[in-house]
Structure 1
Amino acid sequence: MNYKHLGRTGLRVSPIALGCMNFGELTDEANSFEIMDAALDAGINFFDTADVYGGPQTPDMPKGFGTSEEYIGNWLAQDNSRRDRIVLATKVYQPMETGPNDKHLSAHHIRRACEASLKRLKTDHIDLYQMHHIDRATPWEEVWQAMEQLIREGKITYVGSSNFAGWDIALAQCSAASRNLLGLASEQSLYNLTARTIELEVIPALRHFGIGLTPWSPIGMGLLGGVLGKITEGRRATPGLQARIKALRPQLEAYEALCAELGESPARVALAWLLHNPAVTSVISGPRTAGQLLESLKALTLKLPDEALTRLDEIWPGPGGEAPQAYAW
Structure 2
Amino acid sequence: MEYTQLGRTGLKVSRLVLGTMNFGPQTDEPHSHAIMDAALDAGINFFDTANVYGWGENKGRTESIIGSWFAKGGGRREKVVLATKVYGNMGAEGEPWPNEDKLSALNIRRAVDASLKRLQTDHIDLYQFHHIDRSTPFEEIWQAIDVLVGQGKILYVGSSNFPGYKIAQANEIAARRDGTIGLVSEQCLYNLAERRAEMEVIPAAQEYGLGVIPWSPLHGGLLGGIIKKQVEGGRRASGRAADALKDPALRSRIQSYEDLLDKHHLEPGETALAWLLTRPGVTGPIVGPRTTEQLESALRAVELELPESLLTDLDELFPGTGPSPEAFAW
Question: TM-score by structure 2 length?
Answer: 0.95
Q: Does 1:209 align with 2:208?
A: yes
Q: Does 1:324 align with 2:325?
A: yes
Q: Shift of the alpha carbon at 1:234?
A: 5.6
- The DSSP-based 3-state class of the residue aligned with 1:277 is coil
Deviations 1:89-140 (A, max 9, x none): 0000001112121100000000000000000000000000000000011000
Q: What is the match of residue 95 of structure 1?
A: 89
Distance 1:135 1:49 in 2: 19
Q: Does 1:29 align with 2:29?
A: yes
Letter in 2 for 1:95: N
Deviations 1:161-191 (A, max 9, x none): 0000000000000010000311011000000
Distance 1:318 1:237 in 2: 25
Q: What is the match of residue 245 of structure 1?
A: 245
Please show how residues 111-260 of structure 1 align to structure 2 within 5 Å. Answer: 111-180=109-178, 181-231=180-230, 236-238=237-239, 240-247=240-247, 248-260=250-262
Please show how residues 10-89 of structure 1 align to structure 2 within 5 Å. Answer: 10-55=10-55, 62-79=56-73, 81-89=75-83
**How large is the RMSD of aligned CA atoms in angstroms?**
1.2
- The DSSP-based 3-state class of the residue aligned with 2:302 is helix
Distance 1:7 1:199 in 2: 17
Q: Shift of the alpha carbon at 1:306?
A: 1.2
Letter in 2 for 1:163: N
Q: Assess, with a 3 A threshold, how the Cα gap between structure 1 residues 155 and 80 changes in structure 2: closer, same or farther.
A: farther
- The DSSP-based 3-state class of the residue aligned with 1:246 is coil
Q: What is the match of residue 110 of structure 1?
A: 108
Distance 1:93 1:215 in 2: 19
Q: What is the match of residue 59 of structure 1?
A: none
Tell me, yes or no, if the aligned pair for 1:235 and 1:241 is still in contact at 8 Å. Answer: no
Gaps of 5+ in 1: 56-61
Q: Shift of the alpha carbon at 1:296?
A: 0.3
Q: Shift of the alpha carbon at 1:326?
A: 2.0
Gaps of 5+ in 2: none
Letter in 1 for 2:325: P
Distance 1:163 1:23 in 2: 22
Tell me, yes or no, if the aligned pair for 1:159 and 1:186 is still in contact at 8 Å. Answer: yes
Letter in 1 for 2:182: G
Distance 1:314 1:277 in 2: 16
Tell me, yes or no, if the aligned pair for 2:229 and 2:236 is still in contact at 8 Å. Answer: no
Letter in 2 for 1:22: N
Q: Shift of the alpha carbon at 1:16?
A: 0.3
Q: Shift of the alpha carbon at 1:241?
A: 2.7
Q: Does 1:269 align with 2:271?
A: yes
Q: Assess, with a 3 A threshold, how the Cα gap between structure 1 residues 235 and 140 changes in structure 2: closer, same or farther.
A: farther
- Identity percentage of aligned residues: 55
- The DSSP-based 3-state class of the residue aligned with 1:214 is strand
Distance 1:280 1:15 in 2: 9
Distance 1:30 1:142 in 2: 40
Distance 1:206 1:185 in 2: 9
Tell me, yes or no, if the aligned pair for 2:226 and 2:236 is still in contact at 8 Å. Answer: no
Q: Shift of the alpha carbon at 1:233?
A: 6.1
- Number of equivalenced pairs: 321
Tell me, yes or no, if the aligned pair for 1:192 and 1:218 is still in contact at 8 Å. Answer: yes
Tell me, yes or no, if the aligned pair for 1:3 and 1:15 is still in contact at 8 Å. Answer: yes
Distance 1:295 1:230 in 2: 15
